[in-house]
Amino acid sequence: MAPKKPTKVLEDILENLSERNFKKFCSGLVGRDKRVKKNQVENKDFLEVAEVMIEKYADEALKVAEELLRDIDCQQAANDLVAEVKEAGLRWGDDSTSEMTVKDFWMSKKDDPEVYCVTEDNYRNRVALLITNIKFSDEKLDRHGAEKDEENMEKLLQSLGYEVVKWQNLTGKGIDDAFKGFAKHPKLKQTDSVFVVIMSHGKLGKIFGADWREDNPDEFAVDKIYRCLNSNGCQALINKPKVVILQACRGVRSGATTWVHDGESTGRPAPPPEDHVPELDKSAHVEKDFIALLASTPDNKAYRETQNGSILIQNIVKVFTPESYQKHIIDLFTKVQDLVSKCGDDQQKQMPAIDRMTLNKKFYLYPGLLDSSH
C-alpha cells in the first residue's frame, strides 16, 4: 500500500473530530495568522479545510494542525496525527522537534548551559511535597471538591517522576513541621528539583490551618516556604529548581455565585508576614532557583468547583500533559494563566500570579523520561 500523502493524513484527522471541535479548529486556524481568511473555512467540510491548509502552509500544514489540535485540547487527535506522520515517513517542514521522543529532547538539552541539568539518576530521586486541607474544625470551612484536587495533583506529580510526600488537614504548625521535615528528606541530595504544593483557604501572605476560626487565627506564613527551602534552610537544594504551587485565596475581592472560594469572606486581608533576613550563604544567593504559581493576584479570591476541584488545579493538569515536554516551566505556567483568566465571566475573574521567580535557566520536566516507550 502506498504511503499516505499529507492531504490525506490531514483529512483523516479532521474527519474524526466532533462538530464542536472541528469548529474550534477552524476558528483557531483563522485566528492563528493572516494566511487563512474566515470565508475560506466557514461552513466548509473537512476536505475543503485540509486543502486550504495545504495550500496556505505547504510543508508546515501538518505541524500547524498538531499545534491547533493541542490548543483546543484534542490531545488524542494530535497524538494520532503525529503517529500517522511518522508511519507515512512525512516531515514537519523545517521543524523536526515534534518527531523527538522525550529522551531525544532531553539528550538535546542535557549539556545546554542555559538549561537546568537533569540526569537519569537525579530524575529517579525526584520528590514533592503535597499538603491539602479539606476538613476544618469549623465545618463551614470544609473545602468540598478539594479531594479531586488532591487526587489530580498527586497523579500529575507522579507522572512527572516525583515521589509524593502527602499530608492532609494540617494546622499551621503542622504545615510548618511538614516543611521542616521535607527539608531533611534524604532524596533532596540526589534530586534535580522539587515541587511543593499547598491547597487550603488563605489570605494575603497566609495559608489557613485546619483549626482556623475567627477567634483562632491558625495560620502558616507563606514566606516560611522560602526560608525553609532557600540556600540557608536547605543546602541540598542549592542550584536546583524549587517549584511552589499555592491554591488559596489571597484576599476577599470579587464575588462568587455558583463557585465557592478558598478564603475567608469577612475581615481585611492580613498584611504580608514580617520579613526575617537570614545570614547570606557565602557560595549562593540566599534565595535563588524558585518559581511560584499563586492561584490569584494579591487581595483576590481563588475559585473552586465543588465537583471538579479548583480552577487553578484543573488547568494545571490540562497544561502539564505528557506532550508538554518541549515547554519549560515558565511557558507552562504562562499557559495556565491564560486558560484560568478565560474562566468565569466579566464579574468573576481569576488571574494566577507567577511570583518570586528566581530561576536563571530554563527548567524542563521531561515527563516519562525513564519510560522506555518515550
Q: Pick the catalytic residue from 74, 249, 261, 328.
A: 249
Could you confirm whether 343 is annotated as catalytic?
no
Is 248 in contact with 204 (CB distance < 8 Å)? no
Q: What are the distances in angstroms from CA 91 to CA 10, 32, 119, 257, 368?
A: 13, 21, 30, 49, 24
Nearest-5° Cα angle at 285, 283 to 287:
140
DSSP at 190: T
3-state secondary structure of 209: coil
Q: How far apart are the first and last CA of the chain?
A: 28
Is 291 in contact with 246 (CB distance < 8 Å)? no
Q: Rounded CA gap, 163 and 187, in Å?
A: 10
Strand order in the sheet with 303-305: 260-261, 303-305, 309-310
Q: Pick the catalytic residue from 26, 74, 185, 201.
A: 201
Cell of 47: 476536505
Could you confirm whether 249 is annotated as catalytic?
yes
3-state secondary structure of 362: strand
| b/e code 329-344 from CB counts within 10 Å (16+ = b) | beebbebbbebbeebb
Nearest-5° Cα angle at 318, 317 to 319:
95
Residues with catalytic annotation?
Answer: 201, 249
